[in-house]
């Protein structure tokens, strides 16, 4: 057990599946052509302000003289005369300079939880939680690079494990897929400290996407997420759970094994099922409520749902809100 929610599995070893793929060729299995075709027309736009250097499709915090009018300001000695709004001067005899909002590329960082609990896969799921996270990350990386945004990835368990810096060139996709294709669950869950360290590492504001089962104390996880918001990042949390973790379908006497500590617990599932489901609902609702209060997108996902269908549903909903 860790935190306020039990991390339990049936003791069967999870199928490594795609998580064991090696190299860019194996990792490209995450990007099924049919999935790419369905995702390619969608844009992942940041709803909050982002920073960047290359003209692109996302709003910038910097004022310049490029695309979209922002506001007027009084003329100051030294301002180029070409930026004066002569129509305003003709109407009011006031010298005002037009300011515009630049459009800039997005910098996205994909944060993947590699802790041991992410390796769990029940018989009802087509892939483990980590494989699901890998597939989501691969699809999002493709989308970001397709729209000329910079994307990188950070891998962590109880501490940051690997970092691939964000780049916006198409060839960067093979680097990301190769990294994603070599992942295996490892270590124990300590999301809070890892998120704080990652927040300090990412200097330029942008989009942070966390893929995790969040099997840790909610207060510590939310504190780490708030660190990103304090630095003005936009944050999306994909909360990935296995159907057996949400439904708790066990009926016969069973031994549950903590996939990180090896701790074993033998019990009669029917005796604890109702209380388990109540605690899970309260735990999930706590994340959802607190993320909403912090203006963090919270998306709970079930590994029975094809990842591309889940991602499409989220992106289409997000697009309607823009």
Find, among 136, 239, 234, the residue nearest to 183 by Cα: 136
User: Contact, 297 vs 319, CB < 8 A?
Assistant: no
Of 7-16, 158-167, 200-209, 251-260, the poorest mean pLDDT is in 7-16
Residue 57, classed as helix, strand or coil, is strand
pLDDT band at 218 (very low <50, low <70, confident <90, very high): very high
3-state per-residue secondary structure call for 124-193: CCCCCHHHHHHHHHHHHHHHHHHCCCEEEEEEECCCEEEEEEEECCCCHHHHHHHHHCCCCCCCCCCHHH
163-185 pLDDT, tens per residue? 999 999 989 999 998 888 888 88
Rg (CA), the chain: 23
Give Cβ neighbours of residue 178 (< 8 Å, ≥ 6 apart).
23, 24, 27
Whether 42 and 316 have beta carbons less than 8 Å apart is answered as: yes
Residue 307's pLDDT is: 87
Using an 8 Å Cβ cutoff, are 52 and 107 in contact? yes
DSSP state of 53: S
Q: Give the pLDDT mean for 150-173.
A: 90
Tokens, residue 145: 């690079």
Confirm if 51 and 204 have CB atoms less than 8 A apart: yes
Q: For 107-123, what is the mean pLDDT?
A: 93
Q: What is the pLDDT of residue 219?
A: 94
**pLDDT reported for residue 6:** 39
User: How far apart, in whole angstroms, are the C-alpha atoms of residue 60 and residue 46?
Assistant: 10
pTM for this structure? 0.79
Residue 229 has pLDDT above 70, yes or no: yes
Among 7-11, 214-218, 247-251, 291-295, the range scoring the smallest mean pLDDT is 7-11
pLDDT confidence bin for 67, thresholds 50/70/90: low
| Confidence band, pLDDT 50/70/90 cuts, at residue 46 | low
Q: How confident is the model at residue 254 (pLDDT cuts 50, 70, 90)?
A: confident
Range in 23-27, 154-158, 163-167 with the lowest mean pLDDT: 23-27
In the chain, domain spans: 17-50+106-321, 55-104
pLDDT at 57 over 80: no
Comparison of pLDDT for 28 and 85, the residue scoring more: 85
Rounded average pLDDT over 215-237: 94
**Which CATH number does the domain 17-50+106-321 belong to among 3.40.50.410, 3.60.15.10, 3.40.50.11260, 2.40.110.10?**
3.40.50.410
The listed range with the strongest mean pLDDT (7-21, 36-50, 185-199) is: 185-199
Give the mean model confidence (pLDDT) for residues 304-310. Answer: 89
Q: Give me the pLDDT at residue 282, please.
A: 95
CB 221 within 8 A of CB 214: yes
What are the distances in angstroms from CA 307 to CA 25, 42, 118?
Answer: 20, 15, 16
* Other residues' Cβ atoms within 10 Å of the Cβ of residue 169: 10
Residue 41 backbone phi and psi in degrees, to 5: -85, -5
Percent of the chain, pLDDT > 70?
Answer: 80
String of DSSP letters for 263-301: -EEEE-HHHHHHHHHHHHHHHHHHHHHHHHHTT-EEEEE
Distance between CA 320 and CA 317 in Å, rounded?
Answer: 5
User: Residue 200's CB: how many other CB atoms inside 10 A?
Assistant: 10
- In which band, very low, low, confident or very high, does the pLDDT at 284 lie, cut at 50, 70 and 90? very high
Q: How confident is the model at residue 48 (pLDDT cuts 50, 70, 90)?
A: low
Is the model more confident about 139 or about 98? 139
φ/ψ (deg, to 5) at 241: -130, 150
Q: Regarding predicted confidence, which is higher, 99 or 257?
A: 257
Mean per-residue pLDDT, 241-246: 94
Token representation of residue 65: 């003289």
């Amino acid at each position: 057990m860790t935190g306020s929610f039990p991390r339990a599995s049936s003791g069967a070893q999870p199928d490594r599946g795609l998580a064991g793929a090696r190299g860019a060729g194996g990792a490209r299995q995450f990007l099924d052509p049919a999935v790419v075709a369905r995702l390619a027309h969608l844009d992942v736009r940041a709803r909050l302000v982002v920073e960047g250097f290359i003209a692109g499709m996302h709003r910038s915090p910097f004022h310049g003289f490029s695309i979209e009018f922002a506001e007027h300001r009084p003329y100051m000695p030294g301002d180029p005369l070409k930026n004066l709004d002569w129509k305003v001067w003709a109407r009011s005899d006031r010298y005002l300079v037009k300011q515009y909002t630049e459009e800039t590329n997005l910098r996205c960082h994909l944060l993947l939880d590699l802790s041991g609990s992410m390796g769990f896969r029940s018989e009802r799921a087509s892939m483990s939680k980590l494989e699901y996270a890998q597939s989501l990350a691969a699809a999002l990386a493709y989308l970001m690079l397709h729209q000329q945004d910079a994307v990188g990835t950070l891998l962590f368990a109880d501490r940051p494990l690997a970092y691939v810096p964000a780049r916006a060139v198409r060839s960067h996709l093979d680097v990301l897929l190769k990294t994603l294709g070599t992942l295996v669950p490892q270590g124990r869950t300590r999301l809070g400290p890892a998120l704080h360290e990652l927040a300090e590492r990412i200097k330029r504001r942008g989009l942070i996407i966390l893929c995790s089962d969040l099997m840790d104390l909610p207060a510590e996880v939310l504190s780490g997420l708030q660190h990103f918001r304090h630095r003005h990042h936009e944050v999306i949390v994909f909360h990935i759970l296995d159907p057996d973790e949400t439904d708790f379908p066990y009926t016969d006497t069973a031994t549950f094994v903590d996939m990180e500590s090896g701790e074993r617990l033998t019990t009669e599932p029917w005796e604890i099922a109702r209380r388990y489901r109540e605690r899970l609902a309260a735990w999930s609702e706590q994340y959802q409520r607190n993320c909403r209060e912090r203006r963090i997108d919270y998306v709970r996902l079930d590994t029975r749902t094809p990842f591309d269908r889940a991602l499409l549903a989220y992106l289409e909903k997000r697009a309607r809100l823009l």
